[in-house]
Structure 1
Amino acid sequence: MASVTSSARTRWPRLPRVVLEIEPDNRPSVAVARAAGFRLTDAPPETVTDKGRTYTLLTWVREAPGAVP
């Protein structure tokens, strides 16, 4: 994840933030997001239905240095 974020910032240096949407029970993805410097936002959970499956997503964000949230 950190390399993806770093790559995005290299390709689009003016990218002020990167947003992830992760299922709360997906502990491996949550651990990777935290390790890569993402933080959980206070945005309400989003319920999504895709291919017959309904699930909830939490929003995580990593701000670029100096970015205004």
Structure 2
Amino acid sequence: MVKLARLLGDQGIVLPVKEEQLRRLNPFAVAFRYDDMEIAPVAQEGMTSLIAEIRRWAEAEVRAATKREESYGPDEH
């Protein structure tokens, strides 16, 4: 997740969370990819709000990109 965040940062996209926060989500990313793997439990405290914040940000980014595409076409950013 941190690598993806850095790739976004290289494109000038600022995430609403810090790298340390994303590292806390890595076990969940693994579970989604490999549902048969055991992962260490992660404290739920704060995790819900972190995920909600990332989701709000992602939804806003998608809405903005959709509006740009509707206004200027798919190749204009």
TM-score by length of 2: 0.25
Identify, as 1 or 2, the structure richer in strand: 1
Identify, as 1 or 2, the structure richer in helix: 2
Larger radius of gyration: 2
TM-score by length of 1: 0.27
